[in-house]
Amino acid sequence: MIEIIFLGVGAAIPMRNGTNAAYLVRIGNERILIDCGPAILQQLDAAGISPAEITHIFFTHRHGDHALGYPMLMLWYETCADERLQVPTLIASAQTFEALDMLMGVSYGPMDGVTESAPRITVPQESIGRTQIHPNIMLTTVPMIHSDFAPSLGLRIETRNQFGNHVIAFTSDTSPNDNIVLLARNAELLVHEAAYSATLNPEYAAGAYGHSTAQIAGRNAKAAGAKRLALVHIDAMYEGQERVLIEEAQREFDGHVFAPVAGLSITLGDA
């Protein structure tokens, strides 16, 4: 079975108890952490997960709510991990790696080889990238449109054979663009940012500040032929009004729509 744990679901300034958006995907012996915000150690602990379990970390972009936890996580490997433990493989674009290295430099400096020993996979920022992390697990990165300062990548995870044929897609932070449908084609689960509501804020209907609405998320889920849609990265100003965003997406998409809470875990069928 494939498990997706919503460690955090909030925007840069999250709702109470939402924390910043981060996800852990369990597939067989692989544990893929998607984004690493400032509360990552607390998020993992709340879910009963040790950093020792993580095999890969994918960074969508450099913004603090997605990357500030990187030095803290590396500090855990420096101070808490058994010396025989392999540090997870890091996956990001060259631009994001440059920012991560600067962040580590100003936070803790060298860590006696811990960060240097972490294997790195550099994926393209301006084009589609494909990384086979297991004979039956393919990661595809797709450029999104978010910020010139912090260009963002969406992630598509495809499994086959003993894991079953599954597709999970994560948009990360993005304004509307054609690549989202490509990213999410036939996804069993589409995790789509929905920072804003076109219902409550019609002025944001076309997207705003590099982000999307629940309406846009619904349209993309329908166009991609997705089965389930998770609305995440919802702005804190909509606290208590999540139902409005769910219904907004449902007017565009006939599949199951939900707004997960931090700590929710779902599975995608039997292996």
Answer whether 21's CB lies under 8 Å from 232's CB: yes
Q: Can you give the CATH number for the domain in which 95 is found? A: 3.60.15.10
- How far, in Å, CA of 26 to CA of 7, rounded? 13
pLDDT in tens, 124-176: 999 999 999 999 999 999 999 999 999 999 999 999 999 999 999 999 999 99
- Give the DSSP H/E element, type plus range, for residue 214: helix 214-224
Q: What is the pTM of this model?
A: 0.96
| 120: Cβ contacts below 8 Å, ≥ 6 apart | 89, 90, 91, 92, 97
pLDDT in tens, 176-233: 999 999 999 999 999 999 999 999 999 999 999 999 999 999 999 999 999 999 999 9
Judged on CB neighbours under 10 Å (0-12, 13-18, 19+), 101 is exposed
Answer whether 139's CB lies under 8 Å from 247's CB: no
Hey, how many other C-beta atoms are within 10 angstroms of the C-beta on 119?
11
Domain that holds residue 140: 2-267
- How far, in Å, CA of 220 to CA of 198, rounded? 15
Q: Which amino acid is at 58?
A: F
How many domains in the chain?
A: 1
What radius of gyration, in Å, describes the C-alpha atoms of the chain?
17
